[in-house]
Structure 1
């Protein structure tokens, strides 16, 4: 069974425009926290345009830059 993470949640939001509570429960706390913060910004500044939701976690981008 594959792990449900930030990127999976974003993909689901972009495709369907929604995410279930069961899927929220599958996310790690850090991914969930980051996703909720991104959704706030996305709704406020991008008017919910699915293509403007960041596809990759900012935390993972920072890790890649450090390596």
Structure 2
């Protein structure tokens, strides 16, 4: 079984608008912190519209550029 990651959580939020606590528990600490920060921004500035939730981790984008 593959590990639940940031991208999986975002996909689930976009599809259903919710994420379970069990899924939260499966995220790494780093992914969890990033997801919660993204959710805050998403709720404040995108009015909770699922299509505006960032699909890819910002930290992973930075690593790819380096």
Band of TM-score, shorter chain: over 0.9
Write out the 4+ residue segments of structure 1 that deviate beyond 2 Å after TM superposition.
Answer: none
* TM-score (ref. length: structure 1): 0.97
RMSD of the alignment, in Å? 0.3
Gaps of 5+ in 2: none
Q: What secondary structure, in the 3-state scheme, does the structure 1 residue paired with 2:43 have?
A: helix
For residues 20-31 of structure 1, the aligned pairs below 5 Å read 20-31=20-31
The count of corresponding residues between Structure 1 and Structure 2 is: 66
For residues 1-67 of structure 1, the aligned pairs below 5 Å read 1-66=1-66
